[in-house]
Amino acid sequence: MTPQHPLVIGVGNAWRGDDGAGPAVVRLLKRCGCGGARFEECAQDGAALLALWEGHPFVVVVDAVLSGAPSGTLHKFEAQRETIPSQFFNYSTHAFSLAEAVEMSRTLGTLPARLILYGVEGENFSFGRRLSRPVRKAVHHLARSLTRELTTDGGHHDT
């Protein structure tokens, strides 16, 4: 079977410190092209995410989270297999969070066949473009890992 090219979405505001982790991963991935993957950055609410992933069979979303874990911790969720904990992906002032977008999409029957969410634990969400050190490290680690996966087999294996 020919794998579908994945859509990678980086969620967050690149001007709010670690909230820019998602866009930072996407920008790193763009440099390598990742075997035809499509890339989007999204700083808007969950409704915009629903529109972005609509019709895509395979989607990877990267967002900053604030769950209490050590800064730089990577969280991974397979949306088809599990409910996304609402305490994740809910930091920003988005009216309609990523977790709510996933559950809304599930309810409406528009969830991509495969939707993988990566949460990068942040610590500093103040103004400015600077990522904190552990987050920067995690961003590079995740980008390398996703590059390998998406380039070699279209992402058909977990990272």
Partner 1 sequence: MSAESGTRTIRVDYLARVEGEGALYVKVRKGQVKDVQLKLFEPPRFFEAFLRGRRYTEAPDITSRICGICPIAYQMSSIQAMERICGVTVSGPLSDLRRLIYCGEWIESHVLHMYMLHAPDFLGYPDALAMAKDHPDVVQRGLRMKKCGNQLVTLLGGREIHPVNMKVGGFYRVPLKSELATLRPELEWTLAAAVDTARWTSQFTFPAFESDYEFVALQHPHEYAICEGRLVSNRGLDCSVDEFEQHFEEQHVERSTALHCVRKGGTPYMVGPLARYNLNFDRLTPLARTTAQDVGLGRACHNPFKTIVVRAIETILACEEALTIIDRYERPDRPAVDVHPREGRKSGCSEAPRGICHHTYRIDPQGLIQDARIVPPTSQNQKRIEEDLRQLLTAHAELPADRLQWLCEQAIRNYDPCISCSVHFLKLHLDRT
Neighbouring C-beta atoms of residue 68, cutoff 10 Å: 8
Largest CA distance in the chain: 46
Q: Quick one: 13 or 147, whose CB is closer to partner 1?
A: 13
Residues in the chain: 159
103 contacts partner 1 (rule: CB under 8 A): yes
Give the type of residue at 101.
A
107 contacts partner 1 (rule: CB under 8 A): yes
**Residues in 27-56 that interact with partner 1 by CB under 8 A:** 42-45, 47-48, 50-51
Strand partners, 58: 114
CB of residue 141 to partner 1, shortest distance in Å: 27
User: DSSP characters for 74-88?
Assistant: EEEEETTTSPPPTTS
Q: Which stretch binds partner 1 (CB under 8 A): 58-66, 69-77, 104-112, 137-145?
A: 104-112
Neighbouring C-beta atoms of residue 7, cutoff 10 Å: 20
Compute how many residues bind partner 1; rule: CB under 8 A: 20
Task: By CB under 8 A, name the binding residues for partner 1.
Answer: 13, 15, 42-45, 47-48, 50-51, 93-96, 100, 103-104, 107-109
